[in-house]
């Protein structure tokens, strides 16, 4: 049995995914990391200024990909500041610029994605952006996992 800390296995690599509101892009990235990361990762997401809710565009886009995130919640990064992370990843420029220093993080990465709720146009135009961003996030998460995953033992 692997050691545990706050319900997180210490034998697994730890990743924190940050966005400003933790309502769309970081929620998508967390869900895809869970799907593709297997049992070698623990993943959490948070926001530098959490919105308090997951955006309906993200919920709908992820449902179309077969992932249910409607029960997820927007979280603050505060509880994670003193935790050890193998990776801290920012998925928006604002979070990248305003991300506090994580002294216990082994590595920090950034890849900015467009913010679907801020896309111009009506709800359907924003949904098209949400689908594109969802697919971009999934591809990037797969690339990160392939590069950063520990070998199978």
CA dist., res. 147 & res. 139, Å (int): 13
Neighbours of 100 (CB within 10 A): 12
- For 74-94, what is each residue's pLDDT tens digit? 999 999 998 999 999 999 988
Any catalytic annotation for residue 24? Answer: no
Domain 4-148 CATH superfamily: Response regulator (3.40.50.2300)
CA dist., res. 12 & res. 24, Å (int): 25
Domain segments of the chain: what residues?
4-148
- Of the candidates 63, 74, 69, 62, which has an alpha carbon nearest to the alpha carbon of residue 137? 62
**The pLDDT of residue 100:** 77
CA dist., res. 32 & res. 137, Å (int): 8
For the chain, which residues score pLDDT lower than 70?
1-10, 150-153
- Give me the catalytic one of 16, 62, 99, 141: 99
**The pLDDT of residue 92:** 92
- Give me the catalytic one of 15, 18, 19, 89: 19
- Give me the catalytic one of 16, 28, 54, 92: 92
**The pLDDT of residue 24:** 97
**The pLDDT of residue 99:** 77
């Amino acid at each position: 049995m692997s050691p545990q800390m706050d319900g997180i296995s210490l034998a697994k690599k730890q990743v924190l995914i940050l966005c400003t509101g933790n309502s769309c892009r970081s929620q998508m990235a967390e869900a895809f990391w869970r799907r593709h990361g297997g049992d070698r990762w623990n993943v959490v997401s948070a926001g530098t200024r959490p919105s308090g809710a997951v955006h309906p565009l993200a919920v709908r886009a992820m449902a179309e990909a077969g992932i249910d995130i409607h029960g997820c919640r927007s979280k603050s990064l505060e509880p994670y500041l003193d935790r050890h992370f193998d990776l801290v990843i920012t998925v928006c420029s604002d979070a990248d610029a305003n991300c506090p220093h994580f002294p216990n993080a082994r590595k920090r990465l950034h890849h900015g994605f467009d913010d679907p709720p801020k896309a111009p146009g009506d709800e359907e135009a924003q949904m098209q952006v949400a689908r594109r961003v969802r697919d971009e996030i999934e591809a990037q998460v797969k690339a990160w996992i392939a590069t950063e995953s520990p070998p199978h033992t």
